[in-house]
Amino acid sequence: MDTQTRRRAKEHIMSWGSGGRRPAGAPGDAPATVVLADARHLDAVRASGLAGPGTLVFTPGSGEPRDGVVPYGGSLSEPGEDFALGEDFFLQTQDYASSAFMSVLGPTVLRIFGPADFSAFLADADRAFTEGVFPEYLITPAVLLADTAALGGAPDADGPALRLYVDAGGRISLSPTGSPLGTVGDDLTTLLTRYEHTNAASEAPCAVSLAAAVPEEARTAALQVRPFLGRYLTAVKALRAMTAQDIGGLSVSGFGHRLTEGLAASGAEDDLLDPALPLVLWNTDQAYVVAGGRVFAVDRSFAGAVECLLAAGPAASSFVPDHVLDRVRAFFAERGLALDTRTPAGAR
């Protein structure tokens, strides 16, 4: 397998695992990535139009990728199992609850396989929110959290147009822990309709990808009382990227800490309701603003002004002089970055 093909396959399988960003060059009218648990279903998947130009279909087997079909070894659906792409890329699947006791030795997907895993995930998020302590294993660069849309992350990218999983019995879902959307032979329109119908019946985003692992009532209740989960997952992603750059010891504004004196006590938390807003981070050496996929090293006073605008909105002038706030607004405007807070409908 040549370097370009391997890189593309890795991008697709990581996108499939997380349910996150669409891979570059993926088709607009067919799923980006399809994973088969049994190669016997390949012909039926192709015949139903689920493997369009640009789709990658991962199927058990050996040999070189060909015509959009990528052979793989191992498993993506069992805790403790490895997925092998050729002879030099291995991706381990691990249940979330065991992660605190495991050493990360290479690329790893942490997956919610049942209520115990879900409870462990919530406990980590709660501790980060109240104490500012993020689990080390979750911010390790080699680790990917699966099915983030069902855990409070942004739901926009996920769905049958992004990823599909076909189990050994021919049932189709988004993930190994998802509820069935159909069976091999169903086309994308049918799967999309069922996906939208399932989500319409839930009060929390993405009611599909964890439905076989966590009771929907319990998942919905947990997300509704934790409107900060989307922000938490954004912070985890940012900390993971910073760790990859050997920048550690970071605090995250709104999670157990604020830079600005009196801001936490004021109860201003507008920023915690919007995962898309910039993040303010700092350690003993430097402050940072993470926005639009970019990282800006800034001084603490500037970072404090940013967090006040994000958290307090119009009331930010109670904490920071107006001329400093204007300088912050100009900084973001010049870079084409959004700064205004907005409350997602699901958080109201």
Q: Which of 65, 75, 68 is CA-nearest to residue 31?
A: 68
Q: What is the pLDDT of residue 21?
A: 81
CB 54 within 8 A of CB 26: yes
Q: In whole angstroms, what separates CA 70 from the centre of its chain?
A: 24
Q: What is the pLDDT of residue 154?
A: 82
Q: Rg of the chain over CA atoms, in angstroms?
A: 21
Q: What is the pLDDT of residue 193?
A: 97
Q: What is the pLDDT of residue 340?
A: 65
Cα angle 99, 273, 257 (rounded to 5 degrees) comes to 65
Sequential pLDDT tens for the chain (348 residues): 788 888 999 999 999 998 888 888 887 778 999 999 999 999 999 999 999 888 999 999 998 999 999 999 999 999 999 999 988 889 999 999 998 888 777 899 999 999 999 999 999 999 999 999 999 999 999 999 999 999 999 877 899 999 999 999 999 999 999 999 999 999 999 999 999 999 999 999 999 999 999 999 999 999 999 999 999 999 999 999 999 999 999 999 999 999 999 999 999 999 999 999 999 999 999 999 999 889 999 999 999 999 999 999 999 999 999 999 999 999 999 999 877 654 443 343
What are the residue boundaries of the structural domains of the chain, listed by start? 3-224, 229-347
| pTM of this structure | 0.93
Q: In what order do the strands lie in the sheet with 69-74?
A: 143-145, 108-111, 89-95, 82-85, 69-74, 56-60, 33-36, 163-166, 171-173, 182-183
**How far apart (Å, rounded) are the C-alpha atoms in residues 200 and 346?**
13
**How far apart (Å, rounded) are the C-alpha atoms in residues 176 and 113?**
9
